[in-house]
């Protein structure tokens, strides 16, 4: 069995959230080794990161209004 096959076999029983963590680590290793991901993968990863960061916050009230979020230049 190759290393890649052993990795795939080890991933199969894991829950989806754990698989996403493994993917994050693989992307980190690729970036560290100078193997940048294609732009479309970067965009997908950015979307996933934002969704993960805001997970569970959908129903939370915000103390800010739209006016608070606008930057005013004078």
Query: Vertex 10, ends 7 and 15: CA angle to 5°?
Result: 120
Average pLDDT over residues 7-18: 91
Nearest by Cα to 31 from 18, 20, 42, 43:
42
3-state class of 66 per DSSP? Answer: helix
Is the pLDDT reported for residue 10 higher than 90? yes
Find out whether 11 and 5 touch, Cβ atoms under 8 Å. no
Average pLDDT over residues 42-49: 80
Is the pLDDT reported for residue 40 higher than 80? no
Greatest Cα pair distance in the chain:
66
Is the pLDDT reported for residue 56 higher than 90? no
Of residues 64 and 28, which shows the higher confidence score? 28
């Amino acid at each position: 069995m190759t290393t890649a096959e052993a990795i795939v076999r080890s991933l199969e029983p894991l829950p989806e959230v754990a698989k996403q963590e493994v993917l994050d680590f693989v992307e980190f290793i690729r970036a560290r080794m100078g193997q940048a991901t294609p732009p479309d993968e970067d965009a997908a990863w950015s979307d996933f990161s934002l969704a993960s960061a805001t997970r569970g916050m959908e129903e939370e009230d915000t103390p800010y209004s739209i006016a608070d979020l606008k930057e005013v230049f004078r």
